[in-house]
Chain A
Amino acid sequence: DIQMTQSPSSLSASVGDRVAITCRASQSISSYLNWYQQKPGKAPKLLIYAASSLQSGVPSRFSGSGSGTDFTLTISSLQPEDFATYYCQESYSNPPWTFGQGTKVEIK
């Protein structure tokens, strides 16, 4: 099975900061990479698919990049509502659908 590794596991940032989260796959997955946002006590929400395509309704401050094994989720200007945990997920295997371990974005 493909393993997905995110870094960092957590980060502290201020409103307005530019934030980047990375996700590495254990083998090439082309652009078959999704990003989800989860707020405490809530279900995850799809943010980005195909490594860089924004899901409908997601603010443009979110962007995704990468292909092969290395991917990045970038928030250009962190907003109060963006404090959450972010997960990457490979959609290359189908099944299984493997998630990264998550990156918690906290308020500095």
Chain B
Amino acid sequence: EVQLVESGGGLVQPGGSLRLSCAASGFTFSSYDMHWVRQGTGKGLEWVSTIGTSGDTYYPGSVKGRFTLSRENSKNSLYLQMNSLRDGDTAVYFCVRGDTMVQGVIPSYYYVMDVWGQGTTVTVSS
């Protein structure tokens, strides 16, 4: 069974740090991009970070310079180091697998987020 299991969430004070982990199973972890997507309480989905199969990373401006994403393929694991945490970082953080769907005789490639973990909750509060 393809599965992603997040851990590491908790309560942290503003300015503090937290490291989230995601354990993958049931697929060849090293062959896939991986993402973190977060959701504040009662809010929508927000992309947080991406790591490609080559280790290239991408972040939105809201977390760039504060969050660092890494992967350890030998352990089928993904890590999100979050520093200088703010109230606005309070959310459920989902670990997500990215994949490419191919369509057409002349192939077109469509990117999807097709496997999601159950999420881990991060609360930033004094």
List chain A positions with a Cβ less than 8 A from chain B: 31-32, 34, 36, 38, 42-46, 49-50, 53, 55, 87, 89, 91, 94-102
Contacts and interface: CB of A to CB of B under 8 A. Distances in A.
A34 B99 CA distance: 12
B112 A46 contact: yes
Contacts, number: 66
B32 interface: no
B60 interface: yes
Q: Is the interface of B mostly helix, strand, loop or mixed?
A: strand
A36 B45 CA distance: 10
B35 interface: yes
Contacts of A38: 45
Most buried by A among B45, B116, B119: B45
Q: How large is the interface on B (under 10, 10 to 19, 20 to 34, 35 or more residues)?
A: 20 to 34
A98 B58 CA distance: 13
Nearest to B119: A43
Contact of B44 (A49, A96, A100): A100
Interface string B110-126: 11111011110000000
B110 A32 contact: yes
Contacts of A31: 108, 110
Contact of B110 (A44, A50, A98, A101): A50
Contact of A87 (B44, B60, B112): B44
